[in-house]
Structure 1
Amino acid sequence: MGVAGCGKSSLGAAVASAVGLPLIEGDDFHSDKSKQLMRSGVPLTDELRAGWLETLGTELAARPDGAVLTCSSLKRAYREVLRRHSPGLRFVFLDITRDEAMRRVASRAGAHLFPTTLVDSQFATLESPVGEAGVLRVDATAPLPDLVAQVSAWFPKDRP
């Protein structure tokens, strides 16, 4: 979880592969309306995110043996929706500075639905999960292999 450009998709795919779980790419579940709004530089409202979060929660619940989900989960209320569907859910918070997130989002312009104009709204919406149970904070600028090792070591050993 984290703001746009923090590396959710890259880390999620790498961790899913490392631990042998399916990947749920959260962006794939946005409605066409939400995708169009984001492409146009319009931040999503809580109301627009509500159905998306419920869908992601349903996707998690449908995988009782586990899955890796990439999802911004910017507010605690959003994380609680997902936790309601999947008790014991853990979050990896990819912590990144605004400047680095802006640089990364700009570098993928045209290849991703999220424009740089929305980065500030992501930071304005973000409620840090640090201190919540089941949250691991990592430095989003660390090398991907290091992040995969850190997250994999934190992964529950008693999962089915």
Structure 2
Amino acid sequence: MKKLLLVVSLTIISFGIDAQGYSCDKVAFTNFLVRMYNNAPFDGVRAVNDYDNAYLISVLALDPSKYQNNESVINRVASVKAMAQASRFLNGSDITQDMIIHTTEKNDGTSDTEIIENIHENSVGYVKAMEQLTNFKRSDGKLIFIFATLLKNDKLKL
């Protein structure tokens, strides 16, 4: 009787052990994105389809030396920049450009020309959450961050 109870309890426990696994699909998707980046590096936002869903991915590169190699600061900056990129992609932005040409004439009859170009971008929107899929170091020392969020059907048609 004790052996039967032991076998039954071990069988029940063995069925429950698999409860804390990480999604194999997410790992495969992340590996696909890393291979895609290594094949043709890019920064910015892209829409990517897998078999069942559409994702908005945001890729950015940060120089860790600018943040005194503080991991928590780098992760927070990367998260905010990824959400800003995604917001601009989904909600658009207003861009204005001013060009100022300043010419000064010298005593010898020649002139110096200085061109000042100001570009302003204003974007309003909110991206609820972006999940950091991975980060890795590029050969030049910069950290590459890949974030993703699931796109709803009404946001973007792929």
Q: Which structure shows the higher strand fraction?
A: 2
TM-score (norm 2): 0.29
Higher normalized contact order (CA 8 Å, seq sep 6+, divided by chain length): 1
Higher helix share: 1
Largest Rg, 1 or 2: 2
| TM-score, with length taken from structure 1 | 0.29
